[in-house]
Amino acid sequence: MKKVSVMCFHDELCQVFNALMTALSLLREGSKVTLFFGSRGINAVHRDKMKTLTCLPDEPKDMGEAVMARMDEMGLPLVEDLFVMLIAEGATVLACPLNLSLFGMTPKDLVDGVKVADPAKYYKEVVIPADMNLTF
């Protein structure tokens, strides 16, 4: 079984979506998957802020809205649904404790099933022995 670490440091919806879909695909192919959300990625695992993520926030508003509309037309799953699938199917989803504090969040703000990481343990037991380390 391949061990995969997926780290997401962004809160731009397209990046978060790509991280989650990649993790779900690898999980469904039999990999052991751990996702880690740090830096601005911490917003993706905040139960309220995840609903406000947008695509291409640095571009004109209509460009980001057009991408989001196409995602909706394509029937792509919502971020909330991807977290439910990942956790239900056995992925480990972790939030960086430093970024929780830095952005004024508490563990109660996290999506159900997301755990606060122990960074030393995460790097030693997940990142170093991983067959693949992917970052988004």
Contacts of 124 (CB under 8 A, 6+ apart): none
- Averaged pLDDT for residues 38-45: 97
Instruction: Work out the mean pLDDT of the chain and round it to a whole number.
Output: 95
Q: How far apart are the first and last CA of the chain?
A: 23
Which of 37-51, 66-80, 117-131 comes out lowest in average pLDDT? 66-80
Examine the pLDDT at 108 and tell me if it is beyond 90.
yes
pLDDT at residue 72 in the model: 87
Q: Which CATH class is domain 3-135?
A: alpha beta
Q: Is the pTM of this model over 0.85?
A: yes
Which of 13-27, 30-44, 59-73 comes out lowest in average pLDDT? 59-73
Q: pLDDT of 113-136, one tens digit each?
A: 999 999 999 999 999 999 999 999
pLDDT at residue 64 in the model: 86
Contacts of 109 (CB under 8 A, 6+ apart): 46, 47, 48, 100
